[in-house]
Amino acid sequence: MENNDELIKSVTEKAQVWLSDAYDDETRAEVRRMLDNTDKTELIEAFYKDLEFGTGGLRGIMGAGSNRMNIYTVGAATQGLANYLKEAFSSLPQISVVVGHDVRNNSRKFAEIVADVFSANGIKVYLFDSFRPTPELSFAIRHLGCQSGVNITASHNPKEYNGYKAYWEDGAQIIAPHDVNIINHVNQIKGAEAIKFNGNKDLIQIIGEEIDQAFLTAIKGLSLSPEAIARHKDLKIVYTPIHGTGVHLIPESLKNYGFENIIHVPEQDITSGDFPTVASPNPEVPSAMAMAITKAKETGADLVMASDPDADRIGCVLRDAKGEYVLLNGNQIVMILLYYIMTRNAELGKLTGKEYIVKTIVTTETIKSIAEKNNIQMYDCYTGFKWIAAVIRDNEGTANYLGGGEESYGFLAEEFARDKDAVSAISLMAEAAAWAKDQGLDFLHLLQDIYIKYGFSRECGVSVVRQGKAGAEEIQAIMRQFRTTPPKEIGGSPVTTIKDYDSLTLTDVTAGTTTKLDMPVTSNVLQYFTADGTKISVRPSGTEPKIKFYIEVKGHMETPADYDNAIAAADAKIETVKKDLGIA
């Protein structure tokens, strides 16, 4: 490993390249300031490596430097993607792309740079006139018949971050072989001189309202219970965009569905990349929902919902039996939406026997029970909506997609977009609440009804953080230990099945047999299933210095009165499981 003097020498040489005339005055001034500072920490952080273009694109802290999000790292990513598009679609007379962005600081600037670089390379660009939800970009790629798209967003990351998501012609984030090919092309861009920044304005077309209306019309077409909404159009719905892109389209979509009592959180309707009212703009964090819950208490709202800054994730709160507002977890959100869509399609006689749903391997197994009892096929895929989109693509034209989701608060109800979509998810969640009211059920009793019919489950996620090089080695050692010495018993129940997605093997412990798992690629994930239905998933994070444990335990519930006891028993079981795994 380099000592500090060697590291400082290396980053200084790298930074001095950024003082050339190929870089703008603002960037040169910022780099010079870092070079002149006697404390070299900031310089090292900005230049010790290149911001890596991975399978999901770019994500990083904004600022000058090779390891930062700025016009040069964004420009290099776009130049590499443009070079690959020209290679992959060489037979087309005109390649076209869609470019969008969220509300973050610098997002519009970066989006315009992306448009300029694409157009300078002879590629037609459809550039949104302002911020839009991520799923609308996915929709627009398909709607306009484009070959690719780029969205400037860092989703629900802190305000210092921004990101760059690349999409393919099907509207999905990029998978093999295109991901590796694009990365190779991006890595070939060695400096600002290799980037074509001078855009061709004739190839840039501004889009906006017409795409909004097409997108909202398509989402309205997903509605399954307009009569129930008409009966409960005054349902009190608090919605917050948490300063993000959902501010216009989600209330409009709810109104399109027929809801007339949408209650805003005015302070959070202000679009801002500083996210001034929250520590983290993430709807799965209770503090991000606090202002919406306060508004719900003031108004006696039936339902509280939120979207993250790029409006692809959904947060949802319901009232419990004591009148308190309680956050649903991501598993419950996906389960309720899939239950509603499957059940309602059955009621309407729309099922043909060719329907299917998709969930990720770490998402609750209760969804599988619901699908099986409704004779609907369920696919398991890896974490990330690009894998759900891949299942949709494989089944296009032969089977009917009803919906899919993952425990990290993402859901997709449609085929006309291929990334998780809070616009449609929030609209359908409100519709599900109206449909439940028709049956005399509030949302809490709807959730309990699902548990009574299909089995109670309780989920818990634990992240064990291990920083630095030593931490990364420790995480590898933990995974190795679980592989070589798997637990024989978890939570007092014997392990019956082990799935190792790195070797794509399924071991039936009871029978002593091993079979192959049918997955498109390998992934560093381990799963253990016990005789009493407990499921443990273990995987290192791909983006952070942590190892993640996903725990799901089963329980018993016959009536709504059993709910609190079922939760208490499950929580006690989860604590035992944590101790058995050594993560208590």
Which residue numbers are catalytic?
155
Cα Rg of the chain (Å, integer):
25
Calpha distance 175→183 (Å, rounded): 11
Residue written as token pair 């959730």? 447
Contact of 511 with 474, CB cutoff 8 Å: no
Residue type, 423: V
| Angle (nearest 5°) at CA 298 between 294 and 302 | 85
Strand partners, 462: 549
Q: What is the 3-state secondary structure (H, E, C) of 141-158?
A: HHHCCCCEEEEECCCCCC
Residue of 491, 450, 186 whose CA lies nearest to 318: 450
Upstream peptide bond of 135 is cis (omega within 30 degrees of 0): no
Q: Which two tokens stand for residue 349?
A: 């006689």
Provide the 8-state DSSP code for 302.
S
Exposed, middle or buried, 86 (CB in 10 Å: 0-12/13-18/19+)?
middle
Residue written as token pair 């949408």? 262
Tally Cβ neighbours within 10 Å of residue 349: 7
Residue of 265, 254, 328 whose CA lies nearest to 297: 265
Calpha distance 332→294 (Å, rounded): 22
Calpha distance 551→454 (Å, rounded): 19
Residue 441 phi/psi, 5° resolution? -115, 135
Q: Which helix (H) or strand (E) holds 249?
A: helix 246-257
Residue of 26, 9, 111, 102 whose CA lies nearest to 64: 26
Calpha distance 347→494 (Å, rounded): 40
Q: What is the 3-state secondary structure (H, E, C) of 302-334?
A: CEEEEECCCCCEEEEEEECCCCCEEECCHHHHH
Strand partners, 463: 548
Residue 378 phi/psi, 5° resolution? -120, 135
Strand order in the sheet with 204-207: 58-61, 161-168, 148-152, 96-101, 124-128, 204-207
Q: Which two tokens stand for residue 227?
A: 């009569």
Calpha distance 378→519 (Å, rounded): 14
Upstream peptide bond of 241 is cis (omega within 30 degrees of 0): no
Contact of 143 with 216, CB cutoff 8 Å: no
Residue 395 phi/psi, 5° resolution? -100, 0
Residue written as token pair 């900005």? 46
* Angle separating helix axes 330-347 and 366-373, nearest 10 degrees: 10
Contact of 278 with 242, CB cutoff 8 Å: yes
| Angle (nearest 5°) at CA 309 between 366 and 338 | 20
